[in-house]
Structure 1
Amino acid sequence: MRYAVKLIKDGGAYVASCRDLPAFNSVGESVEEALHESVDAIALVLQWHMDKRRLIPEATEKKRGEYWVSLPALDVAKIGLYQAMLGKDLRKSQLARLLGVHAPQVDRLLSLTHSSKLEQVEDALAKLGFRVNVSVEPMERRRAA
């Protein structure tokens, strides 16, 4: 899962914005730092959507002058679990019963700031009829297209 981010130099800093996530903002002293900080900022915006039980915004194609910012695999799996729950109109309490766990454990499975084990998220997804598919690809060069 990745989103296109635009950087604008403002004085000595680079300010990041994302067309697909209007609430997103981030800043860094260099291009690398701004893009690195953008990962956490994107996760915060997506966590807000999850907390409010809103749809996760679709990422559109990158435009000229933008950079791709990819989320970590664990975050992608957690967002996938959340989307699977939405698709099945499943509440956290229902997922807790299905998994045989307490509600706080489900909260942690859906928290992008908690370091759950990927296997736990995979198990929860399997109970809902989904699986995680991870791929490895070359990193994009850090220059705008």
Structure 2
Amino acid sequence: MCNFNFACHFVKVEDGTEIIKCRDIPELLSWPADGETKEDWARYAVQDCISFMMKDGIKVPYATPAKKGEFVVELTPTEEAKILLHNEMVDANIGRSSLAEKTGFSLSEITRLLNLKHRTKIDTLEQALKSLGKRFNLTVQSL
């Protein structure tokens, strides 16, 4: 089972500012903007880092379990499905234009499909994964 719910921790620096870090995404180093809670900003920072990884063709790592005191940024099922599609593309060495050819989607549709902030139907993600020879499964778990 996949897990892209990344644990973040907040570290106070000399001037009293709290910075946000994530063990699983070492590139993530941020601090809240004025008026934003550190938790909201952590979510934004995680999404932003993942988006950059996806644009750069870098595989997004799975998250490790949170440690005591860490804040977990929980991604939506659609965001996780997009990351899974991206990671499958990286594994298969297939770019966006190749995926467009395989699916019959336009390149702009593929770009939106891989955009974490763009709303996408799960059926569309399933179709894209199917074009890569992959099957998409959903599961339900107890909380």
* TMscore range, shorter length: 0.7 to 0.9
Instruction: Quote the Cα distance in structure 1 between the aligned partners of 2:142 and 2:48.
Output: 25
Gaps of 5+ in 1: 139-145
Q: In the alignment, which residue of structure 1 is the partner of 2:107?
A: 103
Is 1:7 aligned to 2:14, yes or no?
A: no
Alignment partner of 1:80 is 2:84: yes
Question: Is residue 110 of structure 2 the alignment partner of residue 120 of structure 1?
Answer: no
Q: Which moved further from structure 2: 15-24 or 75-84?
A: 15-24
In structure 2, the partner of 1:50 is 54
CA contact (8 A) 2:103 2:128 kept: yes
1:133 to 127, 130, 138: 138
* TM-score normalized by the length of structure 1: 0.79
2:33, 2:41 within 8 Å by CA — same for their partners in 1? yes
- Identity over aligned pairs, percent: 27
Q: Secondary structure at the match of 2:85?
A: helix
Residue by residue, what CA displacement relative to the aligned partner does 1:25-52 show, whole Å, maximum 9, x if unpaired? 242789x932233222111101111111
- Contact 1:14 1:28 (C-alpha < 8 Å) held by counterparts: no
Aligned partners of 1:58, 1:120: CA distance in 2, in Å? 23
CA 83–27 in structure 1, closer or farther in 2 if over 3 Å, else same: same
Contact 1:4 1:68 in 2 (8 A): yes
Indicate conservation of the 8 Å contact 2:19/2:32, yes or no. Answer: yes
